[in-house]
Structure 1
């Protein structure tokens, strides 16, 4: 019986420890907490049974009664006959129980008759891991209510206006006066304080939020806005279209946020490490490379990870407030809250792999705070939306040398895998196709389309939830993209999120490389075609298995980098005066460092039918650092990375198990 209890203790201790590491540092899946807490309860019961067993008590007594050998004048004392008999009794009892040493007890999790301190420590470790699990689940929910959150943030900014989101639940702070002034660089004097308006009431119907529009602003000018409740912030307007400054643009893109993950028991439960990393990077950029905005492509909240605590409007509102209550927004010399954030929707803001439209529960409850916190200060709806404004949640705008179309890939989609499956719905698809085929404003050389899920079908896990599950609609869009690149002389870039990895993919134009023209080889060669850059998470887990792989010649892999808990892309567009082209450089940041750069270009003077220049890699840290040995040396000082790598090399069995788990969970 005691041997069986020892086996149960070893097994459940291993489940507690491995499950806790996986849950708190790897993947916060909902299967783990029940496994951890149930294993802990069984473990404690088995330990109690062991220490209460008479044989264990005898082993402890024998250990205490056995005299310890001593040395005197260089010789050992002879043991007494009684001591010899006690030692033999201890050995026999220990052999029966398989008593571990101090170190063995700590590693196995079983109590030790030889060391009471080892027993207390090993049991304490497992209890602490259980408490960490509960802390991650509930500390933020119970101890940090967000109902009193006072918030202001910058949304869409044009050359003459800016949208500001305000939240103030304290009625004593009303009426709320909104003012702004021009920031004069390198001067102690700022412009006169101008009043933009007064908010007399804010109520529960909008969760005490309200969008404010500052109009009549000067292009390419920095401003500070000031609220009478001591909220303030800064922003810079876009350059005047057609000006030299309008040839240059820098912006950021990423997706997926989960507070305090990977879990740190010493951190604030609402801390978001990726936002702090983002702020640090922004603060180090030169002034001309400061980002004009962040395109955040979904999963701003994770309502269902690890657990869904409810599906009411109040539950969804609480999740938005939790993210905006994070102290990380205001960290670093240049707080991330001052960067304009533009948002699209993805599944974890509703429910995992959502495809049931915008009228089925819980979508209406999920959309309500999304409208107030994000859509209210998003860019305008497209010029041709093909739907009434109240039912339009896709957006379009122009900034400098690029125009943008922000897709909504959740509100209108149907189930994947059918011939008539739609990701966008009829109205949004028509609006997108109109945007693709329409010549852009003067000076616009880039058309950028964002999707919360990747266009490429190269991801082998959860493919049905991406554009890979909607091949007919995807092909309709790509046919329009290839045709427009040939006819309009602009270049299309696809930006996406959802995957907790980075993947760059190109889609060569089949019509061109299928012909016998002299250009056929050039079109099909390296770097040719429409490009997609998919990146995430900004602050969340990354996949421990490799899930991206080129399946055919339609979707050609350019670069795949899966590791890193914080990833984002920085896109810089500028004019190369020597070559007469507009150049886009995509820089991938992983955990705060640039690891990969890619260059694309488009001629300033378009020529119909002209083949666009190929893309090229400017920097690849993997290649520059060379061998696997160099990589191991780089991470030698990071114990967590070494442990994670040992899991990665655990063999095909681990990959199969985790692969099956991910297909079931689909929490990316």
Structure 2
């Protein structure tokens, strides 16, 4: 009986040790969901320490030899000898401390309250918007160019803005490099757009979280994907016109929420991202255009009553750090969506969150939700989108680009988040696609799913439009975060959603676009960059159809 008890203790210690180590590995390197991993980690720790304590009280080297498990336990550092037990406890504590370190170190040790930085926002051929954060209430800004000389302007930091201020500069020269300095210690530069460029580039992605995958040796605010982005942008033949960042710039809820969802909490998350040591002047001087998605608020945000109280708290920080230097809004009453043109390419950047209905409930394996009155865009945004498509789509040589935070394709159909994308709003999706088919096709740029897919969305048979009017979607993310290691959620839905390329591996992913409107038909060269390496290239021509 005694030997059976000792064998059971030893087995329990062995299983608990494996469970603890596996769940820590999953949490720190694969899926950073504290709500799922931490209870398993704490349970494994409690069982392992309890078993070790019991083994210590009844230790017997002779009994260990009879169990036949001593060699295996020794490898794991959990044998019943005194030295082995001390070692096992030390390993347990280190693993648990690493898990706690990932959750809490940045929050408590790096709140970035004294952060001072500047970055470039939306830039045209004659203007530039710059964002500053300064602990000084006012400062002087001087910008200089070879053509225009030096200009000094006073800047006042408004109260209640978390020490941020946006500065809009007009009267600039096209294609000119301007450098700037401030009396508060800022310095940087920006390049105005060329007048009506026929060829230009941009990069796009979404989703990032500091110190992922976790390493105790990393700075807790390091963003590895930014380092890949900096290297790629620095090696491009021509500096990109902008970065389109399509949401989840911050994660308010992963690996776990660390404070109540208040303005103060959201502001700290933005400060921490901008305090990352992975930012370079090359990236800060690149124009960034931002939209927001759910994790800037809370996972799967919609206008559900349980979510809406968080919206004003979260949008405050987004407005100060991102929206204030975005392109001017189409509708000042709803300033979170916008449009702008670069040469012959017209962009419409959607707001996929502020006005959407609560997503539908999944019914068994059914993946056809989204019919009826449910809306992602809301009445006014949909009307403004229609006006934009009608206006821009009728202009000769114009290429339309719709920028969506969530995928338009319904091919990510096997996960619990399918209906958080346009798959949950299929009637409205059809309405939007019909607009784009009617003007000869378009490009959609999206993010969110921590994978990449290039998808063709051909006109439906009853639409009356030829296949050459197909829409193509390039959906790419994350810049720096996890991918799903074992569940494959992407399943092609022919004939409505046709996959050209799908890539799920990699923890850093962004797309580089080269637009060319110099020929008879516009074309787009796309490059997928995964973990810093060029993974796949594709060329799309408007109106020429796609072999499928």
TM-score by length of 2: 0.92
Q: Does 1:366 align with 2:309?
A: no
Aligned to 2:496: 554
Q: Out of 492, 495, 498, which is 2:442 matched to? A: 492
1:438–1:131 CA distance, 2 compared to 1 (3 A): same
Tell me the distance in 2 between the aligned counterparts of 1:354 and 1:592.
31
Aligned ranges for residues 1-150 of structure 1 at < 5 Å?
Answer: 1-30=5-34, 31-53=36-58, 56=59, 58-59=60-61, 90=62, 93-101=63-71, 104-108=72-76, 110-113=78-81, 117-150=83-116
Q: What secondary structure, in the 3-state scheme, does the structure 1 residue paired with 2:249 have? A: coil
Could you give the per-residue CA deviations for residues 377-423 of structure 1, whole angstroms, max 9, x where no partner exists? 001112xx3xxx14331010011231110000001101123621110
Q: Indicate the SS of the match to 1:250.
A: strand
Q: Deviations over 1:503-538 (max 9, x none)?
A: 1111111248979xxxx6xx38xxx71000111000
**Which residue does 2:544 correspond to in 1?**
613
- The CA distance in 1 between the partners of 2:89 and 2:373, in whole Å, is 57
Residues 536 and 568, structure 1, Cα contact 8 Å, conserved in 2: yes
Equivalent position of 1:623 in the other structure: none
CA 1:106/1:378 → structure 2, altered by over 3 Å: closer, same or farther? farther
- SS state of the match for residue 327, structure 1? coil
Match of 2:401 in 1: 448
The Cα of 1:427 is off from its aligned counterpart by 0.3
- Is it true that 1:160 corresponds to 2:126 in the alignment? yes
Superposition map of 1:389-428 within 5 A: 389-417=332-360, 419-428=372-381
Inter-partner Cα distance in structure 2 for 1:151 and 1:215: 22
Give the C-alpha shift of residue 337 in structure 1.
1.3
Q: Secondary structure at the match of 1:213?
A: strand
Higher RCO by CA contacts (8 Å cutoff, separation 6 or greater): 2
Check the 8 A contact 2:180/2:188 in 1, yes or no.
Answer: yes
1:275 is aligned to 2:223: no
Structure 2: gaps spanning 5 or more residues: 361-369
Counterparts of 1:137-536 in structure 2 under 5 Å? 137-169=103-135, 171=136, 174-182=137-145, 192-195=149-152, 197-203=153-159, 205-241=160-196, 246-286=197-237, 288=238, 290-309=239-258, 310-330=260-280, 335-356=282-303, 360-382=308-330, 385=331, 389-417=332-360, 419-439=372-392, 445-460=398-413, 461=415, 462-485=417-440, 491-511=441-461, 523=467, 529-536=470-477
Q: Which of these residues, 514, 538, 543, is aligned with residue 484 of structure 2?
A: 543
Whether contact under 8 Å (1:166, 1:210) holds in the other structure is: yes
Within-5 A mapping of 1:564-603: 564-575=506-517, 580-602=520-542
More helix by share: 1
Alignment check: 8 A CA contact 1:502 1:562 kept:
yes
> What is the Cα deviation at residue 3 of structure 1?
2.3
Q: CA RMSD in A?
A: 2.2
What is the CA-CA distance between 1:360 and the residue it aligns to? Answer: 2.0
Checking the alignment, whether the CA contact within 8 Å between 1:257 and 1:537 is kept in structure 2 is: yes
Deviates more, 1:232-241 or 1:294-303: 232-241
Aligned in 2, Cα 1:295/1:200: closer, same or farther, shift over 3 Å?
Answer: closer
Report the alpha carbon displacement of residue 140 of structure 1 after superposing the two structures with TM. Answer: 0.7
What per-residue deviation string (whole Å, max 9, x for no partner) do you get for residues 141-182 of structure 1?
11112111112111000110000011112x3xx431111112
Give TM-score, length-normalised by structure 1. Answer: 0.76
| Partner-residue secondary structure (3-state), 1:397 | strand
Q: Do 2:512 and 2:528's aligned partners in 1 also have CA atoms closer than 8 Å? A: yes
8 A contact 1:51–1:111 mirrored in 2: no
Query: Over residues 285-323 of structure 1, what are the superposed CA-to-partner deviations in whole Å (9 max), with x where a residue is unaligned?
Result: 22x2x2110000000000011111211110111111111
